[in-house]
Structure 1
Amino acid sequence: MTVQLADPATLGLDAARLARIAALLDERYVSKGKLKGVDVLVARDGQAAYRATLGAMRDDGTPVAEDTIYRIASMTKPLTSIALMMLVEEGAIALEDPVTKVLPEFAGLAVYAGGGGDAPFMPGRPAHGMRIVDLLTHMSGLTYGIQNRTNVDAAYRKARLDGHASLAGNDHFIAELAKLPLEFAPGEGWNYSVSTDVCGVIVARLSGMSLGQFFKARIFDPLGMVDTGFSCPPEKLHRLADAWAYVPGGAPHLIDKAETSNLVRAPQFESGGGGLLSTVADYHRFASALVGGGAVDGVRLVSPKTLALMASNFLPGGADLTQMSSSLFSEANNAGTGFGLGFGVTIDPTRALVPGSAGEFFWGGIFSTAFFVDPVEKLHMVFMTQLMPSSAYPIRRQLKTLIYAALTDSRA
């Protein structure tokens, strides 16, 4: 899909200031070999106003193209959350409903009380019922093995429960999760977790389709997202980027070569938390629907009120992630950031120390991809690259600073 660029001036953006984005990406990252290749798109009112495509998509130097396919990892989560909220709007489930209404396997969950590692987990106190809202907000008590912090995390790693493509399907995933204790009682903390993978299973069970089928029928096809899915078709393999890992003080290390990647095969488990591949153009379509209050070009995913609810801070007492997170996202640069129904939410730009609007929502992926939507300024960004972990460089904050510096009017 080709993205047509509008005149930035007609959208209240300064072209010369937007040009600073490419300069920063090239001078600080691409030319120094920190990032092999990048692609960033800035839009207002759903219209693309700026794009910079730089560097290489492959270790052999193949240049990044405008239709390059990327691993978007946790940028899958907003799509899964929207999918579940579409079913909420249809009355198939409610935010306050117990998760056991769809996943009876979770009836006997208990809170961690000790043990694990080389010993069995000790019997914990029974957890009160987990609700759908607890999953969407990451306040479920579930965790991620990648946190590498507790014995519960270690059990997730051993069972490969972090949305791994080799998991033997949805039922196996839920059954294995049900064997393990929760980090805390649902609603009593915030912990980045496989909660959104569980949401994906719920979408599949409620709809009678696989998550991939639901995405295609209800989101991708209607929006024209022709290159987004859980695997890369062989005929598109030449467009799939390689992936690298950050090496302190050295060149990035190639960790997944596109030509030999497992991503050409359909996964056994479709991870609603991190399994999708996509392009800048496709994710721009999704973000355009979000900046449009849930709809774009006559295609409505959710209503404006539903989206506004999703972009509200659900952390108790108006807390931010630095106050609530058990591990990941507890860092100081998440001050002023809350969490809604599938998105991070800016609650106070003055605490975040980056220009923006209260009510802006966003998320990213472990390969350093990112997007944000500002419903006040009707502004959005999509950024793609392929370097893990996403904490390697402060590039997301730098991009936001440059984008907001290019605004010539404010609608606040």
Structure 2
Amino acid sequence: MDSITDIDPRAVGLCPDRLERIDGWMRRLVADGRLAGLSVAFLRGGKTAFFRAHGLADIGRQKPFAADTIVRIYSMTKPLTSVAVMMLYEEGRFQLDDPVTRFLPEFGDMRVLTGGSRAKWDSEPARRPITIRDLLTHTSGLTYGFMEATLVDALYRSSGVDFGEKQEASLAEVVRRLSEMPLLAQPGSEWNYSVGTDVLGHLVAAVSGRDFADVLRERVIAPLGMVDTDFFVPAHKASRLAATYSLYRDRSLKLYDDAEGGPFTRPPALASGGGGLVSTAADYLRFCRFILNRGELDGVRLLGRKTVDLMCMNHLPGDLAAMGQPRFSESSYTGIGFGLGFSVMLDPARAQILGTPGEVAWGGLASTSFWIDPAEDLAVVMLAQLIPSSALPIRRELRVLTYAALVD
């Protein structure tokens, strides 16, 4: 077990005995073979009040899952990319309701799928252009190819529209391919989890005139002191990278992506703003603290407080359930809205889970997750490496255990 804390949890309104329930829950997940290893860390009152790690980061090599273990955070990349976008917004480079074609003309004359097959699909013209806010809120009409739920998903797969770590084409090239695909829905009409944040990465490059990965590193990651966060793991840190596993039908863990020699151990051809980063629990807690501090961390301000407030508001007319059929996401749909880069809790009773209206959250493909609760001055980060994230209900279980430990 690895444990690091800054403060006696009782000093920030947490019950030590109830926190030990989280530790016991973590141990059981590992002992039962449901997870190879995991870490849980959270802030209360700006201090690290709980930080535990259990199990193995690499079963084959018997490498412990530690406080400094590096993991693939996949879609927890999206909030950082969204911060980069909002920094450009604050500089007056664009408005949120600007058509993305202002910077990416390839998205002109978009069409929306109405039927057909992969060989010949039918469509109608998009009634309005995709806006920058559409991309931030996943209401652009774009989707993901890996969902395997719609004809548009299939067209993505057959056309090489993939922003994953094994992609060999450039970001600009994959965005060009994407622009030739039909939309799943009219812009602004449905919430569909999508590659929109990858398009935003390309937008950042187009607006700034610089490589997206360099912008994110220099303007967001480095100023926040996220020293182990990048689009790959350099050689001198490679021993800290966790392996990734899949949970099979027989409930056994099978290796999905080895910790050595895999795609995350070298610079990628394409820096995915939607899912390309690796990070650690300590690094991501720094990002959470930055959001809790409304745009500032350790004397460095990246965003104005009103901009962070805007990001944390629900930008949908209702919850996710009111804007489309659930296909895939890192969140439940009922009682949950969406802001500019992450989900927003609207109604814990409708979501059927403990929480606070106004908290923001998101997760990643390999069972990573975080949430930030400004009303409780709380942020929680959980890291594991199990694909898919829907294999176990660990996010919801951790929420219950965490909120049950609040006693002030």
Instruction: Return the TM-score normalized by structure 1.
Output: 0.95
Distance 1:344 1:123, change over 3 A: closer
2:371 & 2:325 partners in 1: Cα distance? 24
How do residues 134-213 of structure 1 correspond to structure 2 at under 5 angstroms? 134-165=134-165, 166-213=167-214
2:374 & 2:211 partners in 1: Cα distance? 31
Aligned counterpart, 1:34: 34
Give the Å deviation of 1:167: 4.2
For structure 1, which segment, 392-401 or 215-224, has the greater mean C-alpha deviation from structure 2 after superposition? 215-224
2:243 & 2:398 partners in 1: Cα distance? 23
1:277 & 1:57 partners in 2: Cα distance? 14
Distance 1:45 1:211, change over 3 A: farther
The secondary structure found in structure 1 opposite 2:271 is: coil
1:242 & 1:160 partners in 2: Cα distance? 26
Give the Å deviation of 1:260: 2.1
| Equivalent position amino acid for 2:309 in 1 | A
Q: Aligned-pair RMSD on alpha carbons?
A: 1.6
> Does the CA contact (< 8 Å) of 2:83 and 2:220 recur in 1?
no
1:202 & 1:288 partners in 2: Cα distance? 26
The secondary structure found in structure 2 opposite 1:82 is: helix
Structure 2: stretches of 5+ with no match in the other structure: none
Aligned counterpart, 2:346: 347
Give the Å deviation of 1:177: 0.8
How do residues 196-345 of structure 1 correspond to structure 2 at under 5 angstroms? 196-316=197-317, 319-329=318-328, 333-345=332-344
Q: CA offsets, 1:208-263, max 9 Å, x none? A: 22222112111121111111000110111111100011212321110111112121
2:160 & 2:280 partners in 1: Cα distance? 27
The secondary structure found in structure 1 opposite 2:223 is: helix
| Equivalent position amino acid for 2:347 in 1 | D
Aligned counterpart, 2:6: 5
Distance 1:3 1:31, change over 3 A: closer
Aligned counterpart, 1:84: 85
Q: State whether structure 2 residue 47 is matched by structure 1 residue 47.
A: yes
2:205 & 2:45 partners in 1: Cα distance? 33
2:156 & 2:18 partners in 1: Cα distance? 46
Q: CA offsets, 1:317-370, max 9 Å, x none? A: xx2122223333589943211111111110011112222110000000010000
Distance 1:77 1:231, change over 3 A: same
Aligned length: 404
Structure 1: stretches of 5+ with no match in the other structure: none
| Equivalent position amino acid for 2:8 in 1 | D
Instruction: Return the TM-score normalized by structure 2.
Output: 0.95
1:222 & 1:331 partners in 2: Cα distance? 27
The secondary structure found in structure 2 opposite 1:290 is: helix
1:207 & 1:47 partners in 2: Cα distance? 35
How do residues 107-126 of structure 1 correspond to structure 2 at under 5 angstroms? 107-117=108-118, 119-126=119-126
Q: CA offsets, 1:29-51, max 9 Å, x none? A: 10011000000101113210011
Aligned counterpart, 2:104: 103
> Does the CA contact (< 8 Å) of 1:109 and 1:127 recur in 2?
no
